[in-house]
Each structure stands twice: as structure tokens, then as C-alpha cells.
Structure 1
Amino acid sequence: MSDAEADSDRARVAVRAAAEGAAIAADSFRTDLAVENKGTKTDVVTQVDRDAQAAVIETIRNARPDDPIVGEEDDALKEVPESGPAWIVDPIDGTNNYVGGIRAFGTAVAAVDDGEPVGAATVCPALSDTYRVGPAGAFRNDEALSVSDCDDPEAATVCPTFWWDFDRRDQYDAACREVVHRFGDMRRFGCAQFELALVASGALEGALTNLRANPWDTVAGVQLIRQAGGVVTDLEGERWRHDSTGLVASNGAIHDDLLAAAREIDG
């Protein structure tokens, strides 16, 4: 099997695995859920998260039994290996939305090789949308994705993404301030993978944070944006990696403005 064929195969496995996890999440959506706190009042988890991750991992293991798996819940790895193939799993991204009955949540699965994504999928079952990316490009369901062509910051819509905890609310405040003063409008959906997918689809012109985000919250969406023609960098303007500090994702046309806004978050 050639490298291209192997990447295509892993991209298909990512779609299947994400669909399996999303189906479990969908079955319990808007039901009576037992909710636990993992560390803070806003960091919640349910048994459905664990069950969805187990289903994702089983699907991956059936196809690639020896590959390491990085995942948000339980005893999965928490760091992406620097070499070789690996998988990155978020069983329910947007768990707070899920618990609250808000449809913006999804199961995200990314396949990486030497830390670089080669295929990924984010399945949002309550929205009936599957975002997928592989060697053939980026798609929402069967529609090819392309970032927005908007090049006017005052017409752009931008999302301050990820979560600034209570000890960093000055940065949360600064991020929102920078967005509303520099750009046409602001959106925030509480599900990072969905927000990144919206940049890839052209619904948003950009998303930004100064934080180092978890790989399960980012890698699938970053690859969607790149394959859809967008740009994703760190705060220095260098190509974003899974271990970068800050994430600045845009359609490319407003990237310099977005980068300037992100650099102001820390004051």
C-alpha cells in the first residue's frame, strides 16, 4: 500500500470511528444525564463521554490494533507521539453544550503520522453534519469546503475559542475586546472542533486563542481549515502544531489582523 493509499485508509477509519462515537452521544442527547466535574465547575464529563470514547477506540483498534491512541477521557494517552502513526480522540467535544441540550457538539477523530494530521473527522450528530478531511480534500457531508474570501476585517466574523478559566478571565476579556473592536462581529459556540469547522466552511473568517489547547480539541479542525485553503499559526505566526502555544486560524485574507488581535490577549 502506498503512502497516499494508507492516508486515505486512515481518513476513512477516522470517519467510521467518529460516527460510532457520535451515534452513542446522539442516543442519550437530551436525556437525564449524570454529570460529574473533572476538576473545575465548567469541566464536566458524563458516562456517555466514556462510552463514546470506548466505541471510537474499538473501531480504531479493529483497523489499526498497534497504533497509540490519544484521548480526552480515562487512561488514554495525553500527549501526541512525535514519531509514527497515532490517533487523537475527543468523544464529545462541547460536553457543556451536550449536557445543556444544545446541538453544537461532536465526536472528533484525527489520524496523525509523525505528529502531522493525515485524515480526520468531526461528526455533529444533532446537526446532521459530518466534517471530514483526507488526501482528497475537506468536506461537510458531500460538499467540498472552502474558507471565506472576505478580506475586510470590518466585515469578518471571528470566534474567541477555547476556555479561559476563572484565574485567566482578564485574558478572556481581552480576547473578546480585541475581536469586537477589530472585526465586524463575534460568535462563540462552546465547541472548539465545531468552531474550527465553521472557519473551514467559510461561515466564520477566523478563530483565535492565546492558550495552548489540547490536541483532541484542535487537530481535526486545524486540518479541515488547511485543506479548505485557510491558515493556522501560533502566536509567533509560525505553522501551528499540536504542542503550540496559541492558535490563530483564519481564511488567510485576515490573518495578519487576527494575529495582531491574538498577540494583545496577554497584554
Structure 2
Amino acid sequence: MAHDERAATARRAAAAGAAVAAELFRDDLAVERKDGKTDLVTRADREAEAAVLDAIAESFPEEPVVAEETASGAAVPEEGPAWIVDPIDGTNNFVRGIPVWATAVAAVVDGEAVGAAVVLPALDDTYVADGEGARLNGEPLGVSPRTDPDTQSVAPTFWWGLDRRAEYGAAATEIVERFGDLVRFRSAQATLAMVAAGSLDATFTNRETNAWDTVAGAFLVRQAGGRVTDLDGDRWRHDSRGLVASSGHNHDAAVAAARAVDDHRSE
């Protein structure tokens, strides 16, 4: 079946999940911890994910899904189609009433994205990417044209745990010494979407990443004309360690920053 139908399904599914989550945003939800003090989950995560899975099943009922809350142990298959789902990326923001969180869905074939949607309902923003490019709220988008590092804004993404704060400190130092400013949004998919839209110039981590936190946003960046690599500067895949996404301007400096952070790696 054509990839454009997969991309359209990704958008519909992300919108369905985002609508459910938005109804519960700033509601009095019970919060559970999955693994550590900052790894949270709520009823909204589970109900939003169910809505996403239902929407995918309407068009592609037999295809495998890698989803954060219900299939987090599953791996992205190297052959054939699959779906990658994060119902609420940025749950810590969600539970504290901060509007930067996203529902993300990616369609992949043979391990490579062919369509994706990242919906930030509290901001009324819908990012989509397909074979034709990337769009924000229906309008074409592209990465930042800034070339002067002193004018660029860069975000560290993903969270270094309590036993890895030296890496977080190193990331902050590398950014403020190499670029104009540091910002952090606590949602990887939202951050990647902002790189795609040119609101940010780059983002990086040296950490291992989960497919549901990265694949949709990385595809957005690429389809918007940006670059996404691993710590060696090679093309990023869902199973790479580390991620560097940028407009492409001064990408090597962002890679160097990520590698310097990795020198502080404690596990």
C-alpha cells in the first residue's frame, strides 16, 4: 500500500491520541512512577495510547506496533511495516501543567520512517512529514537558516539520571561555550519538531534513545531539510546510541559537543 496512506494514518492516529490527552490535561490525575522519580505515567498516557492504536488498527489492523505504554519491550522490525507510538512525550510537563508535550506516531517500513506526525495539542500545533516534505499546521516548514553559532539556540534532550548529572552539566557547558544560547523543553519529540521548524538550530544527546521518543521527530527534521546523525556523524537510525539533529549549519560542532558529553559517561 502506498506510503502516503501510511503518513495520513499516522496523522489521524496522532490527532486521535492528542485529543484524548488534551481532554485530561490539567485535570486531577493520579500519577504513577515507572522507573525512577522522574519516569511518570498517568491514565492519560494509557487512554491516549489506546486511541492511537485504535486509529491505526482501522487501516492497518495486522501490523506490529512499538508503543511506549503497551509494547515498550518490542523492537522495531528490520523488515516490513510497523508503527511507533508515544501517546504523551513529555509526561513530566503534562502532569505539571506545562503545555509542551506531544503525541507522536511514525510509520516505518524496513526500519525507516515513511510518515510521521507530532501533535502538540496544548499549543494547537500539528507537525507532519511524508515523502513530500514537512509541514506545520498545513504550511511547509524548513530548518533554520542561521549560520553564525553565536546566534544559534541549541537544546540538550533526554534526561541524564541522578547518577549521570556530570553529563548534563557537560552538555550545558558545551552548548554555552559553542553556541549562542541553551534551551530545554523536556519533550524530545517537541524539541525535534522545533528543529524541523527552525525554532531551534540543533539538539543532541549521547544517551541511548527509545524509538517512540525519536523516530517521528527525526523524520520531521530530515524532511524539513535538516541532518540527523549519531555520535560519529553517521546517519542516525532508531537503534543508534546518541542523536544529533540540526539544521545542518554547524552540525559538526553539535556532534563535537555530544562527543564531549560522552567523555563524562558514567555507565
| TM-score of the aligned structures, taking structure 2 as reference length | 0.97
Superposition map of 1:4-43 within 5 A: 6-43=2-39
Deviations 1:117-171 (A, max 9, x none): 0000011110000000011210001111100111111111000001111111111
The 2-side partners of 1:253 and 1:188 are apart by 20
The 2-side partners of 1:257 and 1:75 are apart by 36
| 2:123 counterpart (127, 134, 137) | 127
Report deviation, 1:254: 1.2
The 1-side partners of 2:76 and 2:121 are apart by 26
Corresponding residue for residue 136 of structure 1: 132
Corresponding residue for residue 165 of structure 1: 161
Q: 1:146 is paired with a residue of what secondary structure?
A: coil
Deviations 1:157-202 (A, max 9, x none): 0000011111111111111110011100011001110000000000
| 1:84 counterpart (80, 85, 90) | 80
2:47 alignment partner AA: D
The 1-side partners of 2:22 and 2:203 are apart by 27
The 2-side partners of 1:157 and 1:64 are apart by 39
Report deviation, 1:75: 3.8
The 2-side partners of 1:163 and 1:51 are apart by 25
The 2-side partners of 1:232 and 1:223 are apart by 9
The 2-side partners of 1:193 and 1:118 are apart by 17
The 2-side partners of 1:11 and 1:252 are apart by 25
Q: 1:30 is paired with a residue of what secondary structure?
A: coil
Report deviation, 1:77: 5.0
Unaligned runs of 5+ in 1: none
The 2-side partners of 1:151 and 1:263 are apart by 21
The 2-side partners of 1:71 and 1:177 are apart by 34
Q: 1:111 is paired with a residue of what secondary structure?
A: strand
Corresponding residue for residue 194 of structure 2: 198
Question: Are the counterparts in 2 of residues 131 and 140 from structure 1 also a CA contact under 8 Å?
Answer: yes
Corresponding residue for residue 220 of structure 1: 216
Q: 2:118 is paired with a residue of what secondary structure?
A: strand
The 2-side partners of 1:244 and 1:77 are apart by 17
Report deviation, 1:76: 5.3
Report deviation, 1:74: 2.6
| 2:94 counterpart (93, 98, 101) | 98
Question: Are the counterparts in 1 of residues 226 and 245 from structure 2 also a CA contact under 8 Å?
Answer: yes
The 1-side partners of 2:223 and 2:35 are apart by 35
Moved over 2 A (4+): 74-78
The 2-side partners of 1:75 and 1:209 are apart by 24
Deviations 1:71-125 (A, max 9, x none): 1003455311111000000000000000000000110000000000000001111
Question: Are the counterparts in 2 of residues 104 and 126 from structure 1 also a CA contact under 8 Å?
Answer: yes
The 1-side partners of 2:188 and 2:72 are apart by 20
Question: Are the counterparts in 2 of residues 69 and 76 from structure 1 also a CA contact under 8 Å?
Answer: no
| TM-score of the aligned structures, taking structure 1 as reference length | 0.97
Does residue 70 of structure 2 align to residue 57 of structure 1?
A: no
Deviations 1:21-50 (A, max 9, x none): 000000011110100000100000001101
Identical positions, percent:
59
The count of corresponding residues between Structure 1 and Structure 2 is 263
Question: Are the counterparts in 2 of residues 205 and 254 from structure 1 also a CA contact under 8 Å?
Answer: no
Does residue 265 of structure 2 align to residue 265 of structure 1?
A: no
Unaligned runs of 5+ in 2: none
Corresponding residue for residue 226 of structure 2: 230
